[in-house]
Chain A
Amino acid sequence: MSPFQWLALSGLGLLLLRELNSLRHWRVVRGPWLVRCLTWVSAAAAIVRPQFVQRLAEVIGVGRGADAVLYLVTLAFLFASFYFYSRYVRIQRQMTQVVRHLAIQEARRGRTNAGKIAD
Protein backbone atom coordinates (compact mmCIF):
# COMPACT_ATOMS: atom_id res chain seq x y z
CA MET A 1 0.00 0.00 0.00
CA SER A 2 1.11 3.56 -0.72
CA PRO A 3 1.77 6.14 2.04
CA PHE A 4 -1.45 7.92 1.04
CA GLN A 5 -3.44 4.72 1.54
CA TRP A 6 -1.90 4.20 4.97
CA LEU A 7 -2.61 7.78 5.97
CA ALA A 8 -6.19 7.81 4.65
CA LEU A 9 -7.00 4.43 6.17
CA SER A 10 -5.64 5.53 9.55
CA GLY A 11 -7.88 8.62 9.50
CA LEU A 12 -10.93 6.63 8.44
CA GLY A 13 -10.17 3.98 11.06
CA LEU A 14 -10.12 6.64 13.77
CA LEU A 15 -13.42 8.07 12.56
CA LEU A 16 -14.99 4.60 12.60
CA LEU A 17 -13.67 3.94 16.11
CA ARG A 18 -15.19 7.23 17.24
CA GLU A 19 -18.55 6.21 15.83
CA LEU A 20 -18.38 2.81 17.54
CA ASN A 21 -17.41 4.49 20.79
CA SER A 22 -20.42 6.82 20.59
CA LEU A 23 -22.63 3.73 20.06
CA ARG A 24 -21.25 2.25 23.32
CA HIS A 25 -22.47 5.31 25.21
CA TRP A 26 -25.91 5.39 23.52
CA ARG A 27 -25.36 8.89 22.25
CA VAL A 28 -26.34 8.31 18.65
CA VAL A 29 -29.29 8.96 16.39
CA ARG A 30 -29.49 5.68 14.48
CA GLY A 31 -30.11 6.93 10.91
CA PRO A 32 -27.31 9.54 10.63
CA TRP A 33 -24.95 7.21 12.55
CA LEU A 34 -25.49 4.43 10.01
CA VAL A 35 -24.97 6.83 7.08
CA ARG A 36 -21.69 8.06 8.59
CA CYS A 37 -20.41 4.52 9.23
CA LEU A 38 -21.32 3.43 5.70
CA THR A 39 -19.50 6.48 4.29
CA TRP A 40 -16.29 5.71 6.20
CA VAL A 41 -16.38 1.99 5.29
CA SER A 42 -17.11 2.75 1.60
CA ALA A 43 -14.30 5.29 1.45
CA ALA A 44 -11.88 2.78 3.01
CA ALA A 45 -12.94 0.09 0.54
CA ALA A 46 -12.49 2.48 -2.41
CA ILE A 47 -9.01 3.45 -1.20
CA VAL A 48 -7.83 -0.12 -0.57
CA ARG A 49 -9.38 -1.53 -3.79
CA PRO A 50 -9.86 1.25 -6.39
CA GLN A 51 -11.21 -1.35 -8.84
CA PHE A 52 -14.38 -1.52 -6.66
CA VAL A 53 -15.19 2.05 -7.73
CA GLN A 54 -14.48 1.19 -11.38
CA ARG A 55 -16.79 -1.81 -11.15
CA LEU A 56 -19.49 0.31 -9.51
CA ALA A 57 -19.15 2.91 -12.31
CA GLU A 58 -19.64 0.20 -14.94
CA VAL A 59 -22.69 -1.18 -13.10
CA ILE A 60 -24.43 2.20 -12.92
CA GLY A 61 -23.39 3.07 -16.48
CA VAL A 62 -21.08 6.01 -15.78
CA GLY A 63 -17.98 4.53 -17.41
CA ARG A 64 -15.02 5.71 -15.33
CA GLY A 65 -14.57 5.29 -11.60
CA ALA A 66 -13.33 8.86 -11.21
CA ASP A 67 -16.53 10.17 -12.82
CA ALA A 68 -18.66 8.10 -10.48
CA VAL A 69 -16.79 9.56 -7.48
CA LEU A 70 -17.24 13.09 -8.88
CA TYR A 71 -21.00 12.61 -9.31
CA LEU A 72 -21.37 11.15 -5.84
CA VAL A 73 -19.38 14.02 -4.30
CA THR A 74 -21.50 16.56 -6.19
CA LEU A 75 -24.72 14.96 -4.97
CA ALA A 76 -23.37 14.76 -1.43
CA PHE A 77 -22.38 18.43 -1.58
CA LEU A 78 -25.86 19.48 -2.73
CA PHE A 79 -27.47 17.36 -0.03
CA ALA A 80 -25.14 18.74 2.65
CA SER A 81 -25.75 22.32 1.48
CA PHE A 82 -29.50 21.91 1.74
CA TYR A 83 -29.18 20.15 5.11
CA PHE A 84 -27.07 22.93 6.60
CA TYR A 85 -29.21 25.66 5.05
CA SER A 86 -32.32 24.13 6.58
CA ARG A 87 -30.54 23.94 9.95
CA TYR A 88 -29.57 27.60 9.56
CA VAL A 89 -33.16 28.61 8.74
CA ARG A 90 -34.52 26.73 11.76
CA ILE A 91 -31.99 28.32 14.09
CA GLN A 92 -32.78 31.73 12.60
CA ARG A 93 -36.50 31.17 13.25
CA GLN A 94 -35.77 30.21 16.84
CA MET A 95 -33.66 33.32 17.28
CA THR A 96 -36.45 35.45 15.81
CA GLN A 97 -38.89 33.97 18.33
CA VAL A 98 -36.59 34.90 21.20
CA VAL A 99 -36.06 38.42 19.83
CA ARG A 100 -39.82 38.79 19.31
CA HIS A 101 -40.61 37.62 22.84
CA LEU A 102 -38.21 40.15 24.32
CA ALA A 103 -39.50 42.95 22.07
CA ILE A 104 -43.09 42.36 23.17
CA GLN A 105 -42.13 42.01 26.83
CA GLU A 106 -40.22 45.29 26.74
CA ALA A 107 -42.67 47.30 24.61
CA ARG A 108 -42.98 50.87 25.71
CA ARG A 109 -45.28 53.72 24.92
CA GLY A 110 -43.88 56.87 23.34
CA ARG A 111 -44.82 60.29 24.58
CA THR A 112 -48.56 60.48 24.87
CA ASN A 113 -48.62 64.23 25.28
CA ALA A 114 -47.17 65.17 21.93
CA GLY A 115 -47.62 68.86 22.64
CA LYS A 116 -44.68 68.73 25.04
CA ILE A 117 -42.31 67.27 22.53
CA ALA A 118 -40.49 70.53 22.07
CA ASP A 119 -39.51 70.68 25.77
Chain B
Amino acid sequence: MTATDTIRQPLVRSPFRRQDAGVWVLVAAYNEGQRLGDTLEALCREYDNVVIVDDGSRDNTADVAVRYPVWLLRHLVNCGQGAAIQTAIDFALRHGAEILVTFDADGQHATEDIEVLVDAVRAGRADVVLGSRFLGQAAGLPWGRWLVLRLGVLFTRIFSRIRVTDTHNGLRAMSRHAAGRIRITLDRMAHASEVLDQIRLHGLSFCEVPVTIRYSPATLAKGQSSWNAFRIVGQLVLGRMIR
Protein backbone atom coordinates (compact mmCIF):
# COMPACT_ATOMS: atom_id res chain seq x y z
CA MET B 1 0.00 0.00 0.00
CA THR B 2 1.41 3.38 -0.96
CA ALA B 3 1.10 6.63 0.95
CA THR B 4 -1.51 7.80 -1.53
CA ASP B 5 -3.58 4.66 -0.99
CA THR B 6 -3.41 5.12 2.74
CA ILE B 7 -4.97 8.54 2.74
CA ARG B 8 -7.96 7.43 0.69
CA GLN B 9 -9.41 6.07 3.90
CA PRO B 10 -11.17 8.61 6.14
CA LEU B 11 -8.99 9.51 9.08
CA VAL B 12 -10.55 7.77 12.07
CA ARG B 13 -9.67 9.54 15.27
CA SER B 14 -8.60 7.32 18.10
CA PRO B 15 -11.20 7.23 20.94
CA PHE B 16 -8.28 7.60 23.34
CA ARG B 17 -6.64 10.46 21.49
CA ARG B 18 -4.96 13.10 23.52
CA GLN B 19 -6.81 16.39 23.52
CA ASP B 20 -3.95 18.41 24.94
CA ALA B 21 -3.73 21.40 22.62
CA GLY B 22 -0.40 22.39 24.16
CA VAL B 23 1.41 19.40 22.69
CA TRP B 24 2.96 20.03 19.28
CA VAL B 25 4.60 17.27 17.26
CA LEU B 26 7.30 18.54 14.90
CA VAL B 27 8.37 16.54 11.85
CA ALA B 28 11.18 17.47 9.45
CA ALA B 29 10.75 15.75 6.11
CA TYR B 30 13.00 15.55 3.07
CA ASN B 31 11.95 13.36 0.13
CA GLU B 32 9.69 11.31 2.38
CA GLY B 33 6.68 11.13 0.08
CA GLN B 34 6.69 7.33 0.21
CA ARG B 35 6.64 6.99 3.99
CA LEU B 36 5.19 10.26 5.29
CA GLY B 37 1.57 9.20 4.78
CA ASP B 38 1.80 6.34 7.26
CA THR B 39 3.59 8.53 9.80
CA LEU B 40 1.00 11.29 9.57
CA GLU B 41 -1.86 8.82 9.64
CA ALA B 42 -0.67 7.61 13.03
CA LEU B 43 0.19 11.06 14.40
CA CYS B 44 -3.03 12.77 13.33
CA ARG B 45 -5.11 10.12 15.10
CA GLU B 46 -3.61 11.20 18.39
CA TYR B 47 -2.53 14.82 18.13
CA ASP B 48 -4.17 18.00 16.90
CA ASN B 49 -1.03 20.01 16.40
CA VAL B 50 1.38 18.43 13.96
CA VAL B 51 3.89 20.55 12.05
CA ILE B 52 5.59 19.25 8.92
CA VAL B 53 8.58 21.15 7.56
CA ASP B 54 9.17 20.06 3.99
CA ASP B 55 12.88 20.74 3.69
CA GLY B 56 13.07 21.48 -0.03
CA SER B 57 11.99 18.00 -1.12
CA ARG B 58 12.11 17.12 -4.78
CA ASP B 59 9.35 14.50 -4.48
CA ASN B 60 5.66 14.76 -3.48
CA THR B 61 6.31 15.17 0.27
CA ALA B 62 4.32 18.43 0.44
CA ASP B 63 1.43 16.99 -1.58
CA VAL B 64 1.15 14.06 0.83
CA ALA B 65 1.41 16.28 3.92
CA VAL B 66 -1.23 18.75 2.86
CA ARG B 67 -3.86 15.99 2.70
CA TYR B 68 -3.71 15.64 6.48
CA PRO B 69 -4.81 18.07 9.19
CA VAL B 70 -1.28 19.35 9.81
CA TRP B 71 0.58 22.63 9.53
CA LEU B 72 2.77 22.54 6.44
CA LEU B 73 5.84 24.75 6.19
CA ARG B 74 8.08 24.60 3.14
CA HIS B 75 11.76 25.43 2.92
CA LEU B 76 12.41 26.76 -0.57
CA VAL B 77 15.77 24.96 -0.64
CA ASN B 78 17.13 22.02 1.29
CA CYS B 79 18.70 23.44 4.45
CA GLY B 80 19.12 20.30 6.52
CA GLN B 81 17.28 18.50 9.29
CA GLY B 82 18.60 20.78 12.03
CA ALA B 83 17.37 23.87 10.20
CA ALA B 84 13.98 22.27 9.57
CA ILE B 85 13.52 21.34 13.23
CA GLN B 86 14.42 24.86 14.35
CA THR B 87 11.87 26.25 11.88
CA ALA B 88 9.22 23.96 13.35
CA ILE B 89 10.20 24.99 16.90
CA ASP B 90 9.95 28.70 16.05
CA PHE B 91 6.55 28.17 14.47
CA ALA B 92 5.19 26.09 17.34
CA LEU B 93 6.40 28.56 19.97
CA ARG B 94 4.69 31.42 18.13
CA HIS B 95 1.46 29.43 18.24
CA GLY B 96 1.62 28.84 21.96
CA ALA B 97 3.06 25.33 22.17
CA GLU B 98 3.66 24.18 25.73
CA ILE B 99 5.35 20.84 25.02
CA LEU B 100 7.24 20.26 21.78
CA VAL B 101 8.02 16.80 20.45
CA THR B 102 10.41 16.11 17.57
CA PHE B 103 9.55 13.04 15.55
CA ASP B 104 11.17 11.47 12.46
CA ALA B 105 9.20 11.42 9.23
CA ASP B 106 10.33 8.00 8.05
CA GLY B 107 8.20 5.93 10.40
CA GLN B 108 11.05 4.59 12.54
CA HIS B 109 9.48 5.93 15.72
CA ALA B 110 6.45 4.57 17.53
CA THR B 111 3.65 7.07 18.10
CA GLU B 112 2.86 5.46 21.46
CA ASP B 113 6.27 6.54 22.77
CA ILE B 114 5.31 10.21 22.47
CA GLU B 115 2.91 9.92 25.39
CA VAL B 116 5.67 8.66 27.67
CA LEU B 117 7.93 11.57 26.76
CA VAL B 118 5.17 14.16 27.09
CA ASP B 119 4.08 12.79 30.47
CA ALA B 120 7.64 13.11 31.75
CA VAL B 121 7.82 16.76 30.68
CA ARG B 122 4.34 17.49 32.03
CA ALA B 123 5.19 15.88 35.36
CA GLY B 124 8.19 18.19 35.61
CA ARG B 125 10.68 15.35 35.63
CA ALA B 126 12.88 17.28 33.21
CA ASP B 127 12.97 20.22 30.79
CA VAL B 128 14.05 17.91 27.99
CA VAL B 129 13.15 14.22 27.71
CA LEU B 130 15.26 12.23 25.27
CA GLY B 131 14.24 8.96 23.70
CA SER B 132 16.84 6.21 23.95
CA ARG B 133 16.81 3.17 21.69
CA PHE B 134 19.46 1.55 23.88
CA LEU B 135 17.20 1.70 26.92
CA GLY B 136 14.31 0.50 24.78
CA GLN B 137 14.40 -1.46 21.54
CA ALA B 138 16.12 -1.01 18.21
CA ALA B 139 14.56 -3.63 15.98
CA GLY B 140 16.64 -4.43 12.91
CA LEU B 141 19.59 -2.26 13.89
CA PRO B 142 22.63 -3.42 11.87
CA TRP B 143 25.80 -4.06 13.91
CA GLY B 144 27.76 -1.46 11.94
CA ARG B 145 25.24 1.24 12.83
CA TRP B 146 25.14 -0.04 16.43
CA LEU B 147 28.92 0.40 16.68
CA VAL B 148 28.87 3.91 15.21
CA LEU B 149 26.06 4.95 17.55
CA ARG B 150 27.93 3.57 20.56
CA LEU B 151 31.07 5.44 19.52
CA GLY B 152 28.89 8.53 19.14
CA VAL B 153 27.71 8.11 22.72
CA LEU B 154 31.32 7.87 23.90
CA PHE B 155 32.30 10.94 21.88
CA THR B 156 29.36 12.91 23.27
CA ARG B 157 30.24 12.01 26.84
CA ILE B 158 33.78 13.32 26.29
CA PHE B 159 33.11 16.25 23.97
CA SER B 160 29.78 17.53 25.27
CA ARG B 161 30.24 16.28 28.84
CA ILE B 162 26.69 15.02 29.06
CA ARG B 163 25.84 11.51 30.19
CA VAL B 164 23.37 9.97 27.75
CA THR B 165 22.88 6.50 26.33
CA ASP B 166 21.75 7.56 22.84
CA THR B 167 22.94 10.66 21.03
CA HIS B 168 21.25 10.79 17.65
CA ASN B 169 17.71 9.82 18.47
CA GLY B 170 15.22 12.11 16.76
CA LEU B 171 12.46 11.43 19.29
CA ARG B 172 12.61 13.97 22.08
CA ALA B 173 10.23 16.21 23.99
CA MET B 174 10.92 19.57 25.55
CA SER B 175 9.08 22.15 27.55
CA ARG B 176 8.32 25.57 26.15
CA HIS B 177 10.99 27.00 28.43
CA ALA B 178 13.64 24.60 27.08
CA ALA B 179 12.61 25.08 23.44
CA GLY B 180 12.98 28.82 23.87
CA ARG B 181 16.52 28.43 25.23
CA ILE B 182 17.80 25.88 22.73
CA ARG B 183 18.83 27.40 19.42
CA ILE B 184 19.94 25.00 16.69
CA THR B 185 22.59 26.63 14.50
CA LEU B 186 24.06 23.49 12.92
CA ASP B 187 21.71 23.04 10.02
CA ARG B 188 22.51 19.46 9.15
CA MET B 189 22.83 16.18 11.04
CA ALA B 190 25.15 17.50 13.76
CA HIS B 191 22.17 19.33 15.29
CA ALA B 192 21.39 16.34 17.54
CA SER B 193 24.75 16.73 19.26
CA GLU B 194 24.29 20.50 19.37
CA VAL B 195 21.01 20.06 21.24
CA LEU B 196 22.84 18.01 23.88
CA ASP B 197 25.54 20.69 24.05
CA GLN B 198 22.91 23.35 24.66
CA ILE B 199 21.12 21.33 27.32
CA ARG B 200 24.34 21.41 29.31
CA LEU B 201 25.20 24.99 28.34
CA HIS B 202 21.84 26.38 29.52
CA GLY B 203 21.70 24.16 32.60
CA LEU B 204 18.48 22.48 31.47
CA SER B 205 17.41 19.32 33.24
CA PHE B 206 17.05 16.20 31.12
CA CYS B 207 16.22 12.54 31.39
CA GLU B 208 16.03 9.59 29.03
CA VAL B 209 13.14 7.23 28.50
CA PRO B 210 13.12 3.93 26.61
CA VAL B 211 11.72 4.13 23.08
CA THR B 212 11.40 1.74 20.18
CA ILE B 213 13.00 2.32 16.80
CA ARG B 214 12.17 0.04 13.90
CA TYR B 215 14.69 -0.13 11.10
CA SER B 216 13.61 -1.31 7.69
CA PRO B 217 15.60 -1.75 4.48
CA ALA B 218 13.96 1.40 3.11
CA THR B 219 14.83 3.60 6.09
CA LEU B 220 18.36 2.21 6.24
CA ALA B 221 18.82 2.88 2.53
CA LYS B 222 17.68 6.50 2.84
CA GLY B 223 19.19 7.16 6.25
CA GLN B 224 22.64 8.56 6.74
CA SER B 225 25.66 6.39 6.07
CA SER B 226 27.79 5.35 9.02
CA TRP B 227 30.67 7.27 7.41
CA ASN B 228 28.66 10.45 7.98
CA ALA B 229 29.72 10.15 11.61
CA PHE B 230 33.06 11.70 10.64
CA ARG B 231 31.31 14.57 8.89
CA ILE B 232 29.09 15.12 11.93
CA VAL B 233 32.14 15.28 14.21
CA GLY B 234 33.77 17.78 11.82
CA GLN B 235 30.64 19.95 11.68
CA LEU B 236 30.34 19.87 15.45
CA VAL B 237 33.95 20.81 16.14
CA LEU B 238 34.06 23.55 13.49
CA GLY B 239 30.59 24.73 14.49
CA ARG B 240 31.85 25.44 17.97
CA MET B 241 34.70 27.53 16.57
CA ILE B 242 32.49 29.60 14.25
CA ARG B 243 30.02 31.86 16.01
Contacts and interface: CB of A to CB of B under 8 A. Distances in A.
Interface stretch (A4-12, A32-40, A93-101): A93-101
A114 B79 CA distance: 30
A92 B239 CA distance: 12
B79 A111 contact: no
A102 interface: yes
Looking at chain A's contact residues, the main secondary structure is helix
Q: Which range holds the interface residue count of chain A?
A: 20 to 34
B10 A114 contact: yes
Interface in B117-144: none
B65 A117 contact: no
Interface in A64-119: 85-86, 89-90, 92-93, 95-96, 99-100, 102-104, 106-118
B72 A115 contact: no
Nearest to B95: A107
13 contacts: A85-B238, A85-B242, A96-B79, A100-B75, A100-B86, A103-B91, A108-B71, A109-B69, A109-B71, A110-B66, A110-B70, A116-B10, A117-B11
Given A104-B91, A109-B72, A99 B79 contact: yes
B110 interface: no
A74 B74 CA distance: 43
A34 to B, nearest CB: 24
Contact of A110 (B72, B76, B239, B241): B72
Contact of A107 (B10, B72, B187): B72
Interface of B: 7-11, 44, 53, 65-77, 79-80, 83, 86-87, 90-91, 94, 185, 187, 238-239, 241-242
B29 to A, nearest CB: 13
Contacts of A109: 69-72
A94 to B, nearest CB: 11
Given A92-B187, A99-B76, A104-B91, A114 B242 contact: no
A68 B37 CA distance: 62
Contacts of B7: 117
A104 B89 CA distance: 11
